[in-house]
Chain A
Amino acid sequence: MTAQTAEELSAQEFARIVETHRPQIFRFLLASTRDVDLAETLTQECFLKAHRNWSHFRGDSTAMTWLMRIAINLQKDHWRNRRMQFWRQTRSNSVDVDEASEWLPSGERTAEQQLLARERVGQVWKAVEGLSERQRTVFLLRYVEEQDLGDIAKATGLSEGTVKAHLSRALGKVRAELGGKR
């Protein structure tokens, strides 16, 4: 196999990975920021960074875990930079909690049940907003991306025990938010 053929195969493989995982990375970033434009920008940056480092990816973890780790770091950098640039306009495009909870498939519910479910989902969004950065990341990876603790630990660079502790605290806060409004 020539070097050119290997390069072409690698490029094809990367294109396939982008196609497969882009929606998931975007979803995680959207849930984290509730800002569509920001999520789109960070998703593009994530795949740009992944493309630059594609040759260094050894396959120790899945491509998804690797990409998620890049996305988490980009998100961290973004918030850090924003905190540093406090003198700049602090306009946020984040969607309101109520608006975010509108996106709930009705399923086989009655109108009343649907209304109640939306209210509860809104409360979860609100609780997520109040979580610390790590708690939020762990919570979203677990309950939106449906990842297990091992993958979350790899993506966040934390131990499984720490992930479990963050998850437990996050669940406690969500439960408290829901309990307080019942």
Chain B
Amino acid sequence: MNWFESKKGTAAGPQPDAELEQVLVDFRQSAHAWSEAEFNRPRAVRVAAHSAWRHALAWALGCVVVAGGVSGGIYEHRRDVVARQLAHDRILHQQQLAAQQKANETDESLLANVDTDVSRSVPAAMEPLAQLMDENGTN
């Protein structure tokens, strides 16, 4: 009497037919044999080593990413500062040029006004004499 037969009529539940019963016995023997072989097989602790290696790699990558981020940030900041300084210098230079130009323009217009004022200081009644003097001067 096999195990299945010994359980018939007890709390064994649904009963398989004879052919299926034999397959299930083979299945059980296969599971037992496999389990026994694996249970008694010595195993190397490779999971821990693998895990440590992975941790080291993860740390190294993390450090590279952080260092890259920090140095990138510093570079960007530095570039921004230099650009701002250059822009400031340029604006200052332009302002100086504009001021100088304005100063030059003021001197020239003052002299022009003086010329005009001086030339118009001759009274209208003496205008023909002034013309005469001009003609004599040219001749």
User: Residues of A with Cβ closer than 8 Å to B?
Assistant: 23, 26-27, 30-31, 36-37, 39-40, 100-101, 103-105, 117, 120-121, 123-125, 140, 142-144, 146, 148-150, 160, 163-164, 167-168, 171, 174-175, 178
A124 to B28: give the CA distance in the assembly, Å.
10
If A105-B33, A124-B23, A178-B23 are given as contacts, then 9 extra A-B residue pairs at C-beta distance below 8 Å, sorted by A number, are A23-B35, A26-B35, A27-B39, A37-B47, A101-B30, A105-B29, A123-B23, A148-B7, A148-B12
Asked, given contacts A171-B20, A174-B20, whether A104 binds B29 with beta carbons under 8 Å apart, the answer is yes
Asked, given contacts A148-B11, A148-B12, whether A121 binds B23 with beta carbons under 8 Å apart, the answer is yes
A139 to B21: give the CA distance in the assembly, Å.
13
Kindly provide the distance from the CB of A171 to the nearest chain B CB, expressed in whole angstroms. Answer: 6
User: Residues of B with Cβ closer than 8 Å to A?
Assistant: 3, 7, 10-14, 16, 20, 23-24, 26-39, 43, 47
Q: Is the interface of A mostly helix, strand, loop or mixed?
A: helix
Q: Which residue of B lies closest to A163 (CB)?
A: B13
Other-chain contact of B39, A23, A103, A149 (Cβ < 8 Å):
A23
A98 to B89: give the CA distance in the assembly, Å.
79
Asked, given contacts A27-B32, A105-B33, whether A117 binds B26 with beta carbons under 8 Å apart, the answer is yes
Q: Which residues of A contact B47 (CB under 8 A)?
A: 37
Q: Which residue of A lies closest to B14 (CB)?
A: A168
